[in-house]
Amino acid sequence: MTDIAKRQDSLRQTLIAAKVVPVLTIERVSDAVPLARALVAGGVCTLEITLRTAAAIDAAKAVIAEVPDAIVGIGTVLSAADFEQAHKLGARFTVSPGATPALLEAAAKSDLPLLPGVATASEIMQAREYGFDTLKFFPAEQAGGRAMLRAWGGPFPDLRVCPTGGITEANAAEWLSEPTVLAVGGSWICQASYIRAGDWAGITAMCLRTMKALSKPLSLG
């Protein structure tokens, strides 16, 4: 196995174990640790902290230092420089909404896994050229949903994805039941209104409900 294949395999195992990856937008650094603890208490330990706010870097540092059970990934990685910043922070993986050759090249050479975003067959082909076959399907619902994913199964039988964008409590189990889906991602599990209100118990309750629903066999009736 090449180094990149090993990293992609390890990312696959992380995602399979996680089932759900909350996409976190943290506005206040002081929310980061209680939020991460609330998610971990609800059985959701693999987190994506997006680089969408001024607080993101310090929030990620705080969670990495103070919540050892959290597996912290950095999301909204838009460039090789963002990727390097995530590496310096000690992130366990990185996530990008799309993928440029510069980002894929930087990640292909690094020991830090990247989950690159794709929404078209050409983007999948580009990611594969750099060795990436474990991908984020973004924005999943808006870009064609599960029908699109099944259509990709023909030309790309080895493709495995974490869909995000439009995943909700109502459709998460259906997405996870797709054989090519390793885990589902999204913001529904840690909504901004809960974070703003400091409703950590509410977030833990949502996580527990979600993890319970995702551990049941899907009813086809």
Ligand X SMILES: O=C[C@H](O)COP(=O)(O)O
For position 171 contacting ligand CC(=O)C(=O)O by CB under 6 A, the verdict is: no
Residue 186 interacts with which of ligand X, ligand CC(=O)C(=O)O, none, CB < 5 to 8 Å by class: ligand X
CB of 218 to ligand CC(=O)C(=O)O, least distance (A): 26
- Measured between alpha carbons, how far is 87 from 115 in angstroms, rounded to an integer? 14
Q: Measured from the CB atom, is 22 or 75 closer to ligand CC(=O)C(=O)O? A: 75
- Specify whether the backbone of 162 is left (phi greater than 0), alpha (psi in -120 to 50) or beta: beta
Helical H runs in 42-73?
56-66
How far apart are CB 109 and ligand CC(=O)C(=O)O at their closest, in Å? 21
Subset of residues 64 to 93 that bind ligand CC(=O)C(=O)O, contact rule: CB under 6 A: 75-76
Please state, in angstroms and rounded to a whole number, the distance separating the CA atoms of residues 108 and 92.
15
Q: Which does residue 161 touch among ligand X, ligand CC(=O)C(=O)O, none (CB within 5 to 8 A, set by kind)?
A: none
Q: Confirm if 146 and 166 have CB atoms less than 8 A apart.
A: no
DSSP state of 165: S
State the minimum distance, in angstroms, from the CB of residue 80 to ligand CC(=O)C(=O)O. Answer: 15
Instruction: Please give the Cα distance from 8 to 10 (Å, whole number).
Output: 5
DSSP code of 189?
G
Q: What is the largest CA-CA distance in the chain?
A: 49
Cis peptide before 139 (omega within 30 of 0): yes
**Residue numbers at the binding site for ligand X (CB under 6 A):** 23, 138, 164-167, 185-188
Give buried/exposed letters for 186-219 (b at 16+ CB in 10 A, else e): bbbbbeeebbeeeebebbbebbeebeeebeeeee
Taking CB under 6 A as the rule, which mask of x and - marks residues 129-158 in contact with ligand CC(=O)C(=O)O?
-------x-x--------------------
* 2 or 193: CB nearest ligand X: 193
Which of ligand X, ligand CC(=O)C(=O)O, none sits in contact with 25, Cβ below 5 to 8 A by type? none
Q: Which DSSP helix (H) or strand (E) runs through 94?
A: strand 93-95
Active-site annotation, residues: 48, 136
Residues making contact with ligand CC(=O)C(=O)O (CB under 6 A):
50, 75-76, 95-97, 117, 136, 138
